Structure 1
């Protein structure tokens, strides 16, 4: 029973591994790319459309706090009034 399940799992894994496509992306037959953006100089390619821009994938700020610093006195940090 366990051996049969392992063979089925291996077969499914191999079947899924063969599903990947290595061809360049292009529109389906009879379909066209989306219209050119109004301010774009050229028609974007499928690769351009799939590449995330800086707003979709912003850079991470990995700056670490090197040493603690004393907070400055805040003149607006007043105690609550009764």
Structure 2
């Protein structure tokens, strides 16, 4: 019985999500176009992170082991 009540209480909360496309709030507009750009970026372009913000992973593994060169600046403390 408690499980049924818990599911019945959680069901309205699960239906809160919006499936519509994002739009600016009423009375507000998108940010101005960046300097040098010919047009304003769209909502999708603004929500897509840049490569610098989310870099891709490099799957290149170390294939050859090489000895390190001695570091001439790695001196003991005085």
Give 1:19's match in structure 2, choosing from 6, 16, 21. Answer: 16
The runs of at least 4 consecutive aligned structure 1 residues that moved more than 4 Å come to: 77-80
Query: What secondary structure, in the 3-state scheme, does the structure 2 residue paired with 1:48 have?
Result: helix
Residue 74 (1) aligns with residue 70 (2): yes
Q: Which has the larger radius of gyration?
A: 1
2-side partners of 1:31 and 1:54: how far apart?
28
Q: Following TM superposition, by how much is the alpha carbon of 1:17 offset from its aligned partner in structure 2, in angstroms?
A: 2.0
TM-score w.r.t. structure 1 length? 0.70
Seen in structure 2, the aligned counterparts of structure 1 residues 63 and 8 have a Cα distance that, compared at 3 Å, is: farther
- The answer for unaligned runs of 5 or more in structure 1 is none
State TM-score, norm by structure 2: 0.73
Aligned length: 78
